[in-house]
Structure 1
Amino acid sequence: MPAISRGEVSYITGAASGIGRALASMLVDQGGLVVIADLNGEAAAKFAAELNEKAGSVVAISVKADTTVWEEQLAGFQHTTSKFKRIDYVFANAGIAERPWLPPFDPETAATRPLVKPDLATANINLTGQLYTAALALQTFERQEIGPSGFRGKLILTASVFGYFPSKAMPLYAASKAGIINFMRSAAQYYAAKNITVNSVAPNLVDTPIAPDTLFIPFRERKLLSDIQLVLDQFKKFLGESTLNGQALSISQDNVWVHPADTHMLEVNGPACDLISMEILKIFGDKTQ
């Protein structure tokens, strides 16, 4: 299983709990340095202190950042490069569960209710927030030399199987994760020859604080949860000298698979899709082929 080189730096959003916390612990155990970035600054600082106490040295720092606020994320990255000089891995992991974006459908009362502005918090955090993280990661990688593992940097985004499968109860969650998957595949193509990899890990439901514990009870009873260690094992596959790029490693219970890109009608659409990429890059003044 690939591993990081000792002293490599990982920036992890949503790292004070859940998958992000487990990731940080794993990376420190491999000899890495980690940045605990989280909206809950107090929890992030406490966790970083715990990691440092256990290691007997400074292996972690914390930053408080709302991922939907560009300026806060920018400050977090700047603090990290000031402290550790470079960032080898960025894990765009922060996310929330579905929130009701519209009131429940009820034609009998609809006429008596005002039209309401939708709650887009799920999309703002799970898509826009991750794209802010990605934008900072990719620009940081561009500004630094190739690291000990042979790359300028690696971006790994936390997606979900709901990036492939629709959910009538979670339209914004599904939309945001689908956006992450297609962004990952597109960015991976662009950066493929630039010593930068872009990948994603897409689990089904994992027992974390992302949702109230009562939600997980029926899933535990029916053994429908994905094991967090199996999820971590998929993140490991992208580390170190791994050349994997553009992959969506997916987990559901004990099942692990690389989810394929949609190729339906690609033979017909491929030439136009390739040409529009070339022409738009020209318009943008980008010499990438």
Structure 2
Amino acid sequence: MSTASGMGFAVAQALVNRGGWQVHVLDVKPAPDQASSAPDTTYHQNDIADYGQLAAVFKSIWTSSGSQRRRLDFVFANAGVLDAASFFQESAAEGTDEPPPEPDYQVLDVNLRGFVNTVHLARHYMAQSPDRSSHAIAVTASSAAIWPTYCLPLYTTSKRKCK
């Protein structure tokens, strides 16, 4: 169906199997061959941390259904990544006057910026959909929001959205 895996794949597959859902899968990876053959599923290669890209995809989804049938009922914000490199790893600059290289912020961009972008755009289009009482946004959580993962400090920071 898509490059989605785990929980994201299971939710998308369950919606398709249930019938009556037009499912849109957004992933940073290119669409696999089988993505185009899945019924009622449209694949969008997209970087959710890039607001312009994500806004264009949401608008495309919204306008592709025609002016009489525009609706957005459910968004499952499931994207997430772990720290790409060890935050505590020594760099070549250790022991010199040179500053260390800039940290890799991908985990913050995807897990925090991507979350905010997705919810912000989903709320906008859901507010324009008919029967607003039946709309839902589900966000994947992590135990790192409650119990810090000290070896992954940026991941833990990105999951502490609400207290």
- Relative to structure 1, is the Cα distance of residues 16 and 105 closer, same or farther in structure 2, using a 3 angstrom cutoff? same
**Structure 2 residue 149 is the aligned partner of structure 1 residue 164:** no
Q: Match of 2:94?
A: 110
Give the SS at the match of 1:129: helix
Question: 2:87 touches 2:153 (CA, 8 Å); kept in 1?
Answer: no
**Structure 2 residue 116 is the aligned partner of structure 1 residue 135:** no
**Which letter maps to 2:15?**
L
- State the aligned residue count: 154
Distance in 2 (CA, whole Å) between partners of 1:178 and 1:155 is 18
Write the mapping of 1:228-247 to structure 2, written as runs, cut at 5 A: none
Distance in 1 (CA, whole Å) between partners of 2:86 and 2:50 is 20
Q: Match of 2:26?
A: 37
Question: 2:27 touches 2:44 (CA, 8 Å); kept in 1?
Answer: yes
Give the SS at the match of 1:123: helix
Write the mapping of 1:260-279 to structure 2, written as runs, cut at 5 A: none
Question: 1:36 touches 1:61 (CA, 8 Å); kept in 2?
Answer: yes
Give the SS at the match of 1:37: strand
Distance in 1 (CA, whole Å) between partners of 2:86 and 2:114 is 18
Question: 2:71 touches 2:128 (CA, 8 Å); kept in 1?
Answer: no
Distance in 2 (CA, whole Å) between partners of 1:163 and 1:177 is 5
Distance in 2 (CA, whole Å) between partners of 1:133 and 1:112 is 42
Q: Match of 2:14?
A: 26
Question: 2:71 touches 2:130 (CA, 8 Å); kept in 1?
Answer: no
Deviation readout 1:136-188 (Å, 9 max, x if unpaired): 001111122215xx42x211111211111111111111111112xx1xxxxxx
Q: Match of 2:62?
A: 81
Distance in 2 (CA, whole Å) between partners of 1:113 and 1:67 is 37
Deviation readout 1:86-118 (Å, 9 max, x if unpaired): 110011111112222635158xx7223732212
**Which letter maps to 1:42?**
A
Deviation readout 1:65-105 (Å, 9 max, x if unpaired): 11111111011111111223211001111111222263515
Q: Percent identity?
A: 25
**Which letter maps to 1:35?**
H
Deviation readout 1:4-62 (Å, 9 max, x if unpaired): xxxxxxxxxxx62212222111111111220011112323xx3432322xxxxxx1112
Question: 1:36 touches 1:48 (CA, 8 Å); kept in 2?
Answer: no
Contiguous gaps of at least 5 residues in structure 2 = none
Q: Match of 2:158?
A: 176
**What is the RMSD computed on CA atoms of the aligned residues?**
2.1
Distance in 1 (CA, whole Å) between partners of 2:26 and 2:42 is 9
Structure having the higher Rg: 1
Deviation readout 1:182-215 (Å, 9 max, x if unpaired): 1xxxxxxxxxxxxxxxxxxxxxxxxxxxxxxxxx
**Which letter maps to 1:165?**
W
Give the SS at the match of 1:81: helix
Q: Match of 1:98?
A: 83
- Relative to structure 1, is the Cα distance of residues 110 and 67 closer, same or farther in structure 2, using a 3 angstrom cutoff? same
